[in-house]
Structure 1
Amino acid sequence: MYKFLEQIVADYMTRKPRTVGRDTTMRELGELFKTQDFNAYPAIDGEQVLGIVSKLDYLSCFVFSAARMSPRYPDLMQRTVADVMSSEFIYVAPDTRLTRVLELMVNYRLRSVPVLDADQRLAGIISREDVIHAVQDCT
């Protein structure tokens, strides 16, 4: 298990993660969640990461209350990622130790964490499954 203490993000992250643009509609995002087994996508504009959009962000479009009346379904489906994404998000660097990633995932209940390089560009993403793989490799 001591070997795990030395492992870093770069050794286990997915280097070319799937992303969405800020103008991706909820209809398109719903299709991505339906056809691909991801819980969240980095939202990008060019090479800049603007935020993270998760399944929970998508589902939040459909929460209604007396204070928030239900818009028409076609109107909901035209909302964009920019409307629902989390623009404040936790990220790590490629040289971050996996012990720190694990701590962040457990403390903040994160399923995946974007990996940004020194220029704040998307270098990859690291998921719970990646960390599990690292733990199994090291035990």
Structure 2
Amino acid sequence: MYKFLQQIVADYMTRAPSTVTRDMTMRELGELFEEEDFNAYPVTDGGQVLGIVSKFDYLSCFVFTPTRMIPRYRDLMQRRVADVMTSEFIYVVPETRLTRVLELMVKYRLRSMPVLNANQRLAGIISRKDVMRALQESVAVQS
């Protein structure tokens, strides 16, 4: 377990993660979620992270209430990622300890977080699966 306390994001993150653009349509995003089965994608423009779009954001397009009119399905599918993405998001840097990542994931119920470098450009993504792998490897070393 002590080995896990020393692990950092750079050792377990996915480098060059899949990303989407703010101009992508909901139809295209839905297809991408189906194909790759990721929970979220960083929304980028020239390497700069503009936000995060998750399956939750995608599904929120289809929530209707008495005060919200039901648009035509075709119109919903033409909406853009920029309309539903989360612009304020939690991120980490490659040097962040995995203990901090785990704390953030549990506290905010996050499945993944973008990893930004010193220039605020996308360096990778760290997921629950990555943290679980680090934990398992740390425990396996001690056994």
**TM-score, normalisation: structure 2:** 0.97
> What is the CA deviation profile of residues 98-129 of structure 1, one whole-angstrom value per residue up to 9, with x for unaligned ones?
00000000000000000000000000000000
Number of aligned positions between the proteins: 139
Residue 42 of structure 1: aligned partner: 42
Structure 2: distance between partners of 1:33 and 1:70: 23
Structure 2: distance between partners of 1:80 and 1:45: 14
Spell out the pairing of 1:1-16 with structure 2 (5 A cutoff): 1-16=1-16
Residue 63 of structure 1: aligned partner: 63
**TM-score, normalisation: structure 1:** 0.99
Structure 2: distance between partners of 1:101 and 1:78: 35
Query: Which ranges of 4 or more aligned residues in structure 1 deviate by more than 4 Å?
Result: none
Cα distance, 1:67 vs. partner? Answer: 0.5
Residue 83 of structure 1: aligned partner: 83
What is the percent sequence identity of the aligned residues? 77
Structure 2: distance between partners of 1:65 and 1:99: 40
Residue 98 of structure 1: aligned partner: 98
Unmatched segments (≥5 aa) in structure 1:
none
Cα distance, 1:38 vs. partner? Answer: 0.2
Q: Is 1:125 aligned with 2:131? A: no
Structure 1: distance between partners of 2:86 and 2:15: 22
Residue 25 of structure 1: aligned partner: 25
> What is the CA deviation profile of residues 5-39 of structure 1, one whole-angstrom value per residue up to 9, with x for unaligned ones?
00000000000100000000000000001111200
